[in-house]
Structure 1
Amino acid sequence: MFDVYLTDVQKKVQFEDYPGEHPVKFILDFKKIFPSVMELMLPVLPEDEDLNEMTWESTTEDFELFKLLLKGWGVIELRLNAIAQFKNRNYADQLIKTAQKKRKDFASVQHQLSTVELDYLFMHEVHALIDAELVEIGEKFYLPTLRALWKSHVSANILNAKF
């Protein structure tokens, strides 16, 4: 569990819906997947610099985006496990690498995109690649669900990865 101070409503909330034991380690690892995490959740070191007592600051909207990214990654992991069973683990890992490259390509060509938008596009690409693989076994497409979850957080062009 870790504490988040929501600056816009001046309220402290406790968040415990994350994997792992240590929240600082979790956040640092999670930002490797979604770089926007460090924009959405700002660390606040206590005076004694004890990382066990670290808190985080965010706005309500940014905290909701953080939770959306966390849920989104959970779905990706479940679907990657299905791909690993259907094909193999290396194949599943390669899908992530392909999506990461596409994210970098978007960032280099579309300079106006925010980090959150790039993180969404990364998820979009992962799900598009997984959808293409799992359609062979009759799995439903996930992209419509992803778009429905994010439609109030990113523009229509970003939502559909069309520029």
Structure 2
Amino acid sequence: MLSIYLTDVRKQVQFKDYPGEHPVKFILNFKKIFPSVMELILPVLPESEDLEEMTWESTTQDFEIFKLLLTGWGVVELRLSAIAQFKNKNFADQLVKNAQQQRKQWSHKNQKLSNMQLDYLLLHHIHTLIDAELVELGEKFYLPTLRDLWKNYLPQPVLNAQF
């Protein structure tokens, strides 16, 4: 369980809607996918240095963005499973690698983009690639749903990956 102190509303929340049993390990692995995670929720080391007692700090908005990234990745994994069934696992893995490479290119070309914006763009690009594959099966496009979920957190050009 993640014990998170929301600094803007001075409220402690308990968050346990993540895979795995070890919150620190989960966060460290999740930040490999989305580097902004370590900006959205900040670790607070306990005095005892026991990582089991680690707490976290965030703002309400940053915590909501963290949850969007978490659920967003869950949707990606579900859709990648469908791609793996339709094509194969290597094909699905390559979609993610292509999107990660695109994220790096955007990062170098557009240094004004924040890590959080780049993380959204990664999600956006993965769903673009998946949509292109699953449309053959009659699957609906997911990008309109993704944009709707993120519309309160991003400027329109980033939301539509047009910058």
Range into which the TM-score falls when normalised by the shorter chain: over 0.9
For residue 127 of structure 2, what is the aligned residue in structure 1? 127
- Cα offsets for 1:63-106 (capped at 9, x unmatched): 00000000000000000000000000000000000000000010
For residue 45 of structure 1, what is the aligned residue in structure 2? 45
Once the 2 structures are TM-superposed, how far is the Cα of residue 2 of structure 1 from its aligned partner?
Answer: 1.6
With normalisation by structure 2, the TM-score equals 0.99
For residue 150 of structure 1, what is the aligned residue in structure 2? 150
> What SS class does the counterpart of residue 20 from structure 2 fall into?
coil
- Where structure 2 has 5 or more consecutive residues not aligned to the other structure, the ranges are none
> What SS class does the counterpart of residue 96 from structure 2 fall into?
helix
> What SS class does the counterpart of residue 4 from structure 1 fall into?
strand
Quick one: distance in 2 between partners of 1:7 and 1:64? 13
Tell me if 1:84 matches 2:123: no
Once the 2 structures are TM-superposed, how far is the Cα of residue 61 of structure 1 from its aligned partner?
Answer: 0.5
**Residue pairs, 1:3-152, within 5 angstroms:** 3-152=3-152
> What SS class does the counterpart of residue 13 from structure 2 fall into?
strand
> What SS class does the counterpart of residue 106 from structure 1 fall into?
helix
Identity of aligned residues (%): 71
> What SS class does the counterpart of residue 38 from structure 2 fall into?
helix
> What SS class does the counterpart of residue 83 from structure 1 fall into?
helix
Quick one: distance in 2 between partners of 1:158 and 1:2? 30
| 1:75 partner letter | V
Quick one: distance in 2 between partners of 1:136 and 1:60? 40
With normalisation by structure 1, the TM-score equals 0.99
For residue 162 of structure 1, what is the aligned residue in structure 2? 162
Tell me if 1:2 matches 2:10: no
- Where structure 1 has 5 or more consecutive residues not aligned to the other structure, the ranges are none
Quick one: distance in 2 between partners of 1:159 and 1:40? 19
Quick one: distance in 2 between partners of 1:30 and 1:116? 13
Q: How many pairs does the alignment contain?
A: 163
Quick one: distance in 2 between partners of 1:52 and 1:111? 36
Q: Post-superposition, which runs of at least 4 consecutive aligned residues in structure 1 deviate over 3 A?
A: none
RMSD, aligned α-carbons: 0.4
| 2:101 partner letter | K
| 2:90 partner letter | N
